Structure formats: structure tokens, C-alpha cells
A = this chain, B = another copy of it.
Amino acid sequence: MRKSSTRRAPEFERLELYLKERGLKMTAPREMVLRAFLGLERHVSAEEIFAEARRLDASIGQATVFRTIKLLADAGLAREAYRDDGTRQFEHAYRHEHHDHLVCVSCGVIVEFVDPAIERAQETIYRAHGFESVQHHLELRGTCPACKKAGR
């Protein structure tokens, strides 16, 4: 007896697997948080996830959202990223590989990009200093075309 998995996103299966592996439980609130996170576009704050989860289930608690976000990160579904202005955001990690960010300081719009030449140069720098690479992030801050035109 298995439930229909027709429209079920693979992210849910991934979370279930992750939980089962360590004796944790799949619950309605956890499913709700994941659904909220997946439904939102990239680069959301914890607060935005909380608000969206609340929209789906008004009884959900803030602590549960924070705890679940941590689970999602551990399960490889969400990636935590701090902006250069110190704000904390989460982006989709499942089937979204590494990329860097071009951020408009005026309207906040974020463009994702990867530059192979920069990626290669970074490896060279790690090697030159004898470091083992763990993770890297380049953030370009500037003014986007629309804001420039609007004189912002």
C-alpha cells in the first residue's frame, strides 16, 4: 500500500529519506515548511518562510520554522547565505549548483551567475596558499539598469 506520488516533488522524498535515516519523523509542520520554502522564489529570509508557512497553516510556530529550516539545510535542500550587508537568506540547494550573486543595492534584485574563469582563478588562489577549498562566494553589489535609469 503506497500513497500516490504523482505530483510529489523529489524534495519531499529527499527530506523523508533524510529523516528516516536518522530516526526522525516526518510531520505535517515539516512538510508545510518545505512546501512554503519551495513555493517561494529564491533568496528568502527566515521571516518570509515563516510568513508563507503560516499562510499554509496558521497554527505553525516560529520555532518550528527555524528548526525545520536547519533540517532542510542539513538535508541539502536549502543553502544558508549571508549577504554582504549581514542579512541572512536561504536559497534552494537541491539541484541548484554553486553560483555567485550580483545584487542591486537599491531595489534588492539578485542575478545569479557563474564565471568559469573566476572559478578557475579561485582554485589557483587556494593552491597558491596551500588551502583546501571548502566553499566560496563572490558578491557583486551595484545598481541595476532599472534603478540607474530611475536615478536611484
Contacts and interface: CB of A to CB of B under 8 A. Distances in A.
A132 B142 contact: yes
A83 B139 CA distance: 12
- Copies of this chain assembled into the complex: 2
Interface stretch (A33-41, A56-64, A111-119): A111-119
A132 B148 contact: yes
Contacts of A26: none
Size category of the A interface is 35 or more
A123 to B, nearest CB: 10
A6 interface: no
Interface stretch (A15-23, A70-78, A84-92): A84-92
Contact of A130 (B86, B131, B145): B145
A102 interface: yes
B143 A134 contact: yes
A121 B122 contact: no
B117 A131 contact: no
Interface of A: 81-86, 88, 102, 104-105, 111, 113, 115, 117-118, 121-122, 125-126, 129-145, 148
Given A111-B131, A132-B148, 8 more contacts: A82-B83, A102-B129, A111-B129, A118-B118, A133-B140, A136-B138, A136-B139, A137-B139
